[in-house]
């Protein structure tokens, strides 16, 4: 039997702390990280304790100046996939890791799927008929096999959107700048729906302009990527012309300003950057994996290049 009664005196260690600085569901994050990171202290922001205890910060909105006051910071774990608002270089060489949670891709795919079904089945036509007390006796009949969903920016999330639409019988085309089988304008021409998932960079700003939207004809654009990858002025013109509808979750400026014309165009659906929601139940496990990777000297999979 072991000598359980005596044990060496533990050397004093400052607890390794993970600071969670999120506004939504902090308690779910705490529970999820406690479960997935035994041995770490989990603290919730705003944090006023000793700055040398913070080794990891899990956050959505990032204050770089504050992060620099943590001398032992080993990693910044973002709770979202997009990172265009973060000055990654300012933290180098500390790794900044995007959240790539497969569950979030499913969330975006469901958002897209519901609108693809909605418009391909003419629910917008029924809604407009309803306001006139009109029964649409010969609805336009389009089955999924009659409809093509194009996904612009076919990365990890785009692939899940494509697979989800395919699973339900829709035709699909993926197009990305690095990999495509046709020109971007032909891609717009061949699609009934274009789902934009292009990440924002200097090369993708206003990537979708008047020419592409014209090729989409009376199709539908669903923007769940970044607002500035679509030329908003050209989009408004197209919506006043042939374009049937735009479902917009992202905008050049967010929140969408009160005086934006988009609010009241009759063929626009506005959602408040909510298509890909972070679910702490699944995301905490992904973040914990990244922290364990850094602890063991590895570079987490979705570290942002600087």
Would you say 127 or 203 has its CB closer to its own copies? 127
For position 138 contacting its own copies by CB under 8 A, the verdict is yes
CB of 29 to its own copies, least distance (A): 13
For position 279 contacting its own copies by CB under 8 A, the verdict is yes
For its own copies, which stretch binds (CB under 8 A), given 124-132, 149-157, 238-246, 294-302?
Answer: 124-132
d(CA 74, CA 292): 11
For position 277 contacting its own copies by CB under 8 A, the verdict is yes
CA distances from 260 to 37, 233, 244, 270 (A): 45, 11, 19, 11
For its own copies, which stretch binds (CB under 8 A), given 7-15, 133-141, 155-163, 175-183?
Answer: 133-141
- For residues 66 and 73, the answer to whether their CB atoms sit within 8 Å is no
Q: Please identify which residue in 269, 292, 293, 295 interacts with its own copies, judged by CB under 8 A.
A: 269
For position 289 contacting its own copies by CB under 8 A, the verdict is no
For position 178 contacting its own copies by CB under 8 A, the verdict is no
CB of 278 to its own copies, least distance (A): 9
Using DSSP, how many helices (H) and how many strands (E) does the chain show? 9, 11
For position 34 contacting its own copies by CB under 8 A, the verdict is no
For position 145 contacting its own copies by CB under 8 A, the verdict is yes
d(CA 228, CA 209): 11
Which positions ≥6 away from 218 have C-beta within 8 Å? Answer: 242, 243, 244
d(CA 262, CA 256): 9
Pairing of strands 245-248, 268-270: parallel
273 catalytically annotated: yes
Place of tokens 């990280």: 33
264 catalytically annotated: no
For position 114 contacting its own copies by CB under 8 A, the verdict is yes
CB of 277 to its own copies, least distance (A): 6
Q: How many residues bind its own copies (CB under 8 A)?
A: 43
Place of tokens 């063929």: 267
Q: Which of 53, 95, 103, 51 is nearest to 77 (CA)?
A: 95
Q: Which of 175, 170, 172, 171 is nearest to 186 (CA)?
A: 175
Report the Cα–Cα distance between both ends of the chain, in Å, rounded: 54
Q: Please identify which residue in 121, 180, 244, 292 interacts with its own copies, judged by CB under 8 A.
A: 121
Would you say 55 or 107 has its CB closer to its own copies? 107
Would you say 62 or 109 has its CB closer to its own copies? 109
For position 256 contacting its own copies by CB under 8 A, the verdict is yes
For position 227 contacting its own copies by CB under 8 A, the verdict is no
Would you say 43 or 117 has its CB closer to its own copies? 117
Q: What is the DSSP string of 65-129?
A: HHHTT-TT--EEEESSS--TTS-GGGGTTS-EE----HHHHHHHHHHHHHHHHHHHTTHHHHHHH
- Gyration radius of the chain's alpha carbons: 23
Would you say 16 or 129 has its CB closer to its own copies? 129
Which one of the listed residues 254, 261, 298, 299 is annotated catalytic?
254
Catalytic residue positions, numbered:
226, 254, 273
Which residues form the interface with its own copies (CB under 8 A)?
Answer: 24-25, 106-107, 110-111, 113-114, 117-118, 121, 123, 126-127, 129-130, 133, 135-139, 141, 143-145, 168-169, 254-256, 258, 260, 263-264, 269-272, 274, 277, 279, 281
């Amino acid at each position: 039997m072991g000598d359980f009664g005596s044990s060496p005196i533990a050397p004093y260690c400052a607890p390794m702390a993970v600071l969670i600085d999120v506004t939504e569901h902090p308690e779910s994050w705490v529970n999820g990280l406690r479960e997935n990171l035994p041995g770490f202290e989990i603290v919730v922001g705003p944090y006023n304790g000793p700055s040398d205890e913070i080794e990891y910060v899990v956050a959505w909105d990032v204050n770089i100046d504050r992060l620099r006051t943590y001398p032992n910071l080993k990693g910044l774990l973002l709770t979202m996939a997009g990172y265009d608002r973060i000055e990654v270089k300012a933290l180098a060489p500390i790794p900044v890791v995007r959240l790539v949670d497969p569950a979030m891709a499913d969330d975006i795919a469901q958002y897209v799927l519901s609108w693809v079904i909605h418009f391909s089945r003419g629910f917008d036509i029924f809604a407009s008929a309803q306001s006139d007390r009109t029964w649409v006796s010969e609805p336009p009949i389009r089955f999924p096999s009659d409809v093509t969903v194009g996904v612009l920016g076919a990365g990890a999330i785009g692939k899940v959107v494509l697979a989800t639409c395919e699973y339900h019988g829709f035709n699909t085309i993926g197009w990305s700048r690095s990999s495509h089988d046709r020109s971007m304008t032909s891609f717009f021409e061949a699609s009934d729906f274009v789902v934009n998932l292009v990440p924002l960079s200097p090369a993708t700003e206003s990537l979708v302009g008047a020419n592409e939207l014209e090729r989409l004809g009376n199709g539908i654009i669903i923007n769940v990527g970044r607002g500035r990858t679509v030329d908003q002025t050209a989009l408004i013109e197209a919506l006043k012309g042939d374009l049937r509808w735009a479902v917009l979750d992202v905008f050049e400026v967010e929140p969408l300003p009160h005086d934006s014309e988009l609010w009241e165009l009759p063929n626009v659906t506005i959602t408040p950057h909510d298509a890909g929601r972070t679910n702490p139940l699944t995301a905490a496990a992904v973040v914990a994996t990244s922290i364990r990777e850094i602890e063991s000297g590895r570079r987490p999979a979705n570290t942002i290049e600087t």
